[in-house]
Chains A and B, each alone.
Chain A
Amino acid sequence: MAALDDSVARVALELPLRANLTARDNIALIPLYQRHLNAAESTRQAQAMLDGLGHGDIAGLRDPDMTPAQRFVTQLARALMLKRPRLVIDRPGAMLYDVPYPAFIQRLAARSEIGGTWEIFDFDWNQALYPQ
């Protein structure tokens, strides 16, 4: 999984948020450093991404203050901000242990305005959780 190329944005337990930055700042790093936008515009885009996913209220939270679902949404928003053609969610059960996660991810996917392919990699024994 670690060897996936740069066309893939990953959401995974082993790719955590920067702990001393807020959710908004974690996401804003990407336009700031990759697209060289200024701080104000990067922050605006980060907030818009969280709003788009229906979690604008968590923008000011830092990683230790988030619930697992809020942390997942922030990681997902960061991955979406990368604007890569593929999005891989790696073992969501390890991150989303406080919500019924296939339905939760489906709701987020329905809200997201960013296209591309979303792929979920999960353990075989969790197959029954997903609609067939």
Chain B
Amino acid sequence: MNFLATSIESLGARFVGWISVGYGLFAFAGRAALLLLAPSTWNRATYDVVIKQVYFTAVQILHVFLGYALVISWLLVTIILSTAREFGLTEFATEMTIRVLVLELLPFLTALFIALRSGSAINTEVALMRVNNELDALAHCKVPPMQFEFLPRLIGGVISVVALASLAGLLALLLAYLSIYGLTMAGLSAFTQTVARIFDFRIVAGLIIKCALFGLAVTLIPVVSGLETPRKLFMVPVSVLSGMMRVFFAIVVIEVLSLALKYI
């Protein structure tokens, strides 16, 4: 009986914890959205910090990211193409490549890439800022932390994931064309027709929304997780650990929801 009560209590506490984390995330996102709409937010200082964030998140890693996208795309295009040839389904290879690689896998891998590189850094930095009272110091100086530290990171994350996933997608399309038709213009008409048929308005809008949500997840969750850190230095690794787990969970949920909406 005692065991049952303890189990129910523990389950209840965990459930309340999830609700409170979810509420914290949505409340922070709401505050950020309200601030985005305020004209006073859009001053020179905010623009400068946003540009810096896009540079650190996307431009600085561009060559590494494109190399990584090139290798993954080449491998997958080769696998899809050889399998399609084996089963006599070569005419579906283009569509298969676009659906698997450009619409699903590359945006997902881009989000994971940014989460591992920038999300973990954001989580650590915000947690350290909180532990060291740097946020209180900014508040004392009337420098709004949301405007100076957090909002630019959210905007930078969204812009970076959308831009990098688009670049990786274009690279994959180019590789797919070269792998299927080689260095000739002969297949261009059939290829572009397939691309145009798949990329209707609904699919393009869905892809952009999915990438934007990925971008939001890999920045918003680390920021909120960092802000929840108790003011003890030894809690920083725990904060990063739980933050990154939540990011991974959120990325998987967004991907599963997007697949369900598209294909079920």
Q: Point out residues on A near B: beta carbons under 8 Å.
A: 6, 10, 14-20, 29-30, 32-34, 36, 38-39, 78, 82
Contacts and interface: CB of A to CB of B under 8 A. Distances in A.
A36 B138 CA distance: 16
B65 interface: no
Given A32-B45, A33-B148, A39-B45, A15 B137 contact: yes
Interface stretch (B95-103, B125-133, B196-204, B215-223): B125-133
Contacts, number: 50
Nearest to A10: B140
Nearest to B46: A33
Contacts of A16: 132-134, 137
Contacts of A19: 128-129, 132, 134
Contacts of B45: 32-33, 36, 39
Contacts of B132: 16, 19
Contact of A14 (B125, B136, B141): B136
B147 interface: yes
Contacts of A29: 138, 141, 143, 148
Interface in B25-41: none
A113 B227 CA distance: 38
Nearest to A27: B141
Contacts of A14: 133, 136
B133 A36 contact: no
